[in-house]
Amino acid sequence: MKILVCIKQVPQKDTPLKLNEYGTWIREDVSYEVNEPDAFALEEALRQKEKHGGEVVAITAGPARSQQVLREALAKGADRAIHLEDNAFVGLDAFNTARAFAAAIKDEQFDLIFTGLQSDDYGYAQTGVILAELLGWPHATIIMQIEKTDAGIRVKRELEAGYFQFVDIPLPAVLTIQSGINKLRYATLIGIKQAKNKPMRKVSFDDVKGAVTGNLQKIERLYIPEKTKNTEYMEGTPSEIAKKLVDKLRNEVHVL
């Protein structure tokens, strides 16, 4: 099976974020990492390839720094990578990101496209499904298991409240992968070495400009959430804090 994995670079989880001077986006001088659900998507693609053969290709859109997520994918076992490299890709909405991806892979023939179920920065949870619609492929979201069948694949979808459902899907198809579907591997030293020689195709903004329109939605303002609760901060040494908390548990929360 030939599988494309869409990977996004996002700010690191614990990194403190600051707003830019216009209050429209974050200041980008922070540390970045692979969007966690995308790491599970990559791992699943590698496992499918190990079972059934084929090829795993990683794709991302973003400035030069985002090449790091492709390097990591190659080090873990992806065969090649596609980098839509430009700062302009950062501000695209889900619709246009999907359009750019569709344009970048128009000469390729994948059986499956994986994305993480959502990104840790925008959190749209849409790019994969939009890509499926643009390509005219079927899709399924929040996937916890993938089995190859004679007619295509059978996937296990996670539903709400502890429910699941198996769905049979013909190929090609797009799947959005749930975190926890598998156990992530680490890149090996040999993998990291080999990654340097694996092909990386660069796609410029100009190359896909014809496919990208103006954004369909716009972030007017980004801000620290308005507090709705009156939070009381407990301060002091650990034992002082412990005493204060117990006082609250007894006299305010009434659980002691």
Partner 1 sequence: MPDTILAILEQRQGKLSRVSWETLAASQAICAETGWTLEAAVIGNSIGNLATEVAGKKVSKVYAVESSKLEPYTPDAFVAALKQVLQSKQPKLVLLPHTYQVRDFIPKLATAMKSTVISDCVGYKKDGDKLVFTRQMFQGKFSADVSFTCEAPWFVTFQNGAFRGDKLEAGTSAAPVETINVEVADDIVRTKPQEIFKEAKQAVDLTQAEIIVSVGRGIKEQKNIEIAKQLAEALGGELAASRPICDSGWLPMDRQVGSSGQTVAPKLYLALGISGAIQHVVGMKAARTIIAINKDSEAPIFEIADYAVVGNLFDIVPPLIEEIKKARG
Chain positions 5 to 44 lying near partner 1, rule: CB under 8 A, are: 11, 13-14, 16-17, 19, 26
**Interface segment toward partner 1; rule CB under 8 A; list 60-68, 105-113, 155-163, 200-208:** 155-163
Task: Please choose, from the candidates 2, 65, 77, the residue with its C-alpha nearest in 3D space to the C-alpha of residue 34.
Answer: 65
Ranges within 221-250 binding partner 1 (CB under 8 A): 221-234, 238-239, 241-243, 245-246, 248-250
Q: In what side-by-side order are the strands of the sheet with 80-85? A: 153-158, 139-148, 173-177, 112-116, 2-6, 55-62, 80-85, 200-203
Chain-centroid distance of CA 17 in Å reads: 19
CB atoms within 10 A of CB 240: 11
Least distance in angstroms from the C-beta of 205 to partner 1: 20
Count of all residues that appear for the chain in the document = 256
Whose Cβ is closer to partner 1: residue 166's or residue 199's? 166
**Interface segment toward partner 1; rule CB under 8 A; list 105-113, 137-145, 187-195, 197-205:** 137-145
Residue selected from 75, 169, 203, 208 as contacting partner 1 according to rule CB under 8 A:
169
Contact present, 212 and 99 (Cβ < 8 Å): yes
Residue selected from 28, 133, 211, 212 as contacting partner 1 according to rule CB under 8 A:
133
| Binding residues for partner 1, total number by CB under 8 A | 81
Interface map 204-223 toward partner 1 (x if CB under 8 A): ----------xxxxxxxxxx
Contact present, 44 and 114 (Cβ < 8 Å): yes
Cα–Cα–Cα angle for 45, 179, 99, rounded to 5 degrees: 65
Least distance in angstroms from the C-beta of 137 to partner 1: 9
